[in-house]
Every structure is written in C-alpha cells, then in structure tokens.
Structure 1
Amino acid sequence: MMVPAEKELRAVLAQFAQARIEHDVCPTGRSSRVLEDVTYTLCVMTASRTVEQALSTADLLMEQYRADREAVAAQAGEALAA
C-alpha cells in the first residue's frame, strides 16, 4: 500500500465525517452518493475493503504520523543540545 500523505488523509476523514453526519441527519439520494464516494476514496487510500477497516487503518496511520513528528522533534532537540 502506498501511504497517503497526512494532509490528504485528514481531509478525506473530515469529508467522511461530514458526509456521515449529513446523511444521518437528513438522508437523501445526494447524501447517500456523497457518502458512498468519500467512503470509496477512504477505502482506496487505506487499501481497505470496508469502511470499518479503512477507519481502523486511518487511525493507525494517524498514530504513526504523530509518532514520526515526535521522533523528528526529539532528534531536533538532541541536535540543538549538542
């Protein structure tokens, strides 16, 4: 799987959340199509077959992005201290 950039993954997760809320509040044919489209995009980005798998994978990726940022910050701090 090609790992999506954090910015793009965050954007698709936000779109998914918005589409899910809109469809839950006022389901229409349009809201259903939007939700299907963004769900498909999220599944493709995370190489998943279901939305549940996609969200789980997205959570793991977001955690990895956070850990990577912390590691870079720690290395930068060590470099400044030396």
Structure 2
Amino acid sequence: MLMANPATLRNLVKRYESLRSAHARLGTSESSRHLEDVSYTLCVTTGTRTVPDALRAAEAQLRAVPSAGSVGSKAVPSEVQLTA
C-alpha cells in the first residue's frame, strides 16, 4: 500500500478541519467547494471513499510514522501548501 508523505497528510487533515469549521460558520457555496475539494484530496491520498474513513486512515498512517524528533528520523518540512 502506498503511504502519503506525513507532512502532506498532516496538512490535509488540518486543512480539512479548518475548512469544515469555516463552512459551518459561513455556509457559502465557496466554503462548500473548498471543503469538497480538500475532502476529495484527503480521500484520494488515503485510498478511501469517505471522509470518516480517510480521517481514520490518516490517523493510522501518522501513528505508524516516527515523529520528526525521533532518533534517526529525517526532518520533513511540516508546511506543505497544496494548490488546486
């Protein structure tokens, strides 16, 4: 199974949570479109079909990866900007 880059996966989960919150507040067509886009990307990145499954898969993948501060691990940039 392919594994997403941990920094990319963390960024996607954070972006999803941020956009979900923004859409709950704003409820605009633009906020909906952004939320749908990141939801789709999160599903594709984790190889799942639903957001709850994608979030579970992301959590499992991130749990399986040593943190950047672990001995012997390589530092990975934590800020990755995805664009459409």
Q: Which residue of 1 aligns with 2:6?
A: 6
1:11-26 equivalence runs, <5 A = 11-26=11-26
- Between the two structures, name the one with larger relative contact order (CA 8 Å, sep ≥ 6): 2
Query: Which residue identity is paired with 1:57?
Result: A
**TM-score, L = length of structure 2:** 0.77
3-state DSSP of counterpart to 1:44: helix
Cα RMSD (Å): 2.1
Which residue of structure 1 lines up, in the alignment, with residue 50 of structure 2?
A: 50
2:79 maps to what in 1? Answer: none
Q: Report what 1:79 is aligned to.
A: none
- Structure 1: any 5+ residue segments left out of the alignment? 77-82
Task: Flag the structure with larger Rg.
Answer: 1
- Alignment match, 2:82: none
Aligned length: 73
Amino acid at match of 1:40: Y
Q: Identity percentage over the alignment? A: 35
Q: How far did residue 66 of structure 1 move?
A: 3.3
Measured in 2, the distance between the counterparts of 1:66 and 1:51 equals 24
Q: Would you identify which runs of 4 or more consecutive aligned residues in structure 1 move more than 2 Å?
A: none
Unmatched 5+ stretches in structure 2? 74-84
**Once the 2 structures are TM-superposed, how far is the Cα of residue 13 of structure 1 from its aligned partner?**
1.0
Q: What is the match of residue 31 of structure 2? A: 31
